[in-house]
């Protein structure tokens, strides 16, 4: 015998949250230009409703900077090459003498240090980040510099100059003119080796 039961209430299903509208178009769908323009216009609004933000193109440009290299057929290409760091591995050491050894006992005399110029990029880098701390001398003690460049055992260029930035840049220009360090590709393995002799101020040697 069946028992009498109260009628069941129908449950009403309600939707909560954000509704997501997905538009799917088959490959052979032929939309009108007006419909396509409407979808393109509603794109940013739909993205905002979903909590996403459009990509900032300025940020992309900062992360991936554009390097413009002039054509090799133009005069600007020569200027571009000249603006690149010269690819030279300087073998820097102090010019030794008995007077220098006596006056600068803490300096690294008779030993060479390697200074790859693209790592230092400028005269102040070579002097203040390379020669002074690594050779153990004070800036005021550095009196002169002498560059001796050889290729295949033959002397290519040699020059001595006072320890000033403008004379240093002129010396690098002479190296470029003689084909020393003009190639910047290949890293340390393709760098030209050049001797950089550091002269220290020493009145007793006069």
pTM here is 0.61
Residue 165 has pLDDT above 90, yes or no: yes
Q: Tens of pLDDT along 33-69?
A: 555 555 555 555 544 444 545 555 555 455 555 567 7
**Reported CATH class of domain 85-205:** alpha beta
Domain edges within the chain: 85-205
Instruction: Please tell me the chain's helix, strand, coil percentages from 3-state DSSP, rounded to the nearest 5.
Output: 40, 20, 40
Report helix, strand or coil for 159: strand
Q: What is the mean pLDDT of the chain?
A: 76
Residue 110 has pLDDT above 90, yes or no: no
Task: Determine the Cα–Cα distance for residues 81 and 88; give it in Å rounded to an integer.
Answer: 14
């Amino acid at each position: 015998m069946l028992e009498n039961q109260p009628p069941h209430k129908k449950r009403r299903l309600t939707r909560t949250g954000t509704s997501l509208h997905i538009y799917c178009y088959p490959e052979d769908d032929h939309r009108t230009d007006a419909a396509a323009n409407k979808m393109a216009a509603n794109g940013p609004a739909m993205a905002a409703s979903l909590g996403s933000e459009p990509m900032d193109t300025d940020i992309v440009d900062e992360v991936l900077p554009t390097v413009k290299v002039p054509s090799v057929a133009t005069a600007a290409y020569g200027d571009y090459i000249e603006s690149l760091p010269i690819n030279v591995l300087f073998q820097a050491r102090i010019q030794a003498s008995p007077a220098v050894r006596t006056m600068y006992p803490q300096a690294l005399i008779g030993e060479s240090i390697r200074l790859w110029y693209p790592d230092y990029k400028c005269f102040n880098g070579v002097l203040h980040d390379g020669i002074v701390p690594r050779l153990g001398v004070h800036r005021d003690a550095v009196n002169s510099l002498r560059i001796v460049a050889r290729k295949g055992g033959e002397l290519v260029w040699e020059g001595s100059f006072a320890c000033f930035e403008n004379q240093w840049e002129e010396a690098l220009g002479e190296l470029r003119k003689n084909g020393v360090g003009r190639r910047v590709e290949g890293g340390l393995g393709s760098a030209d080796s050049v001797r950089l002799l550091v002269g220290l101020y020493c009145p007793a040697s006069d």
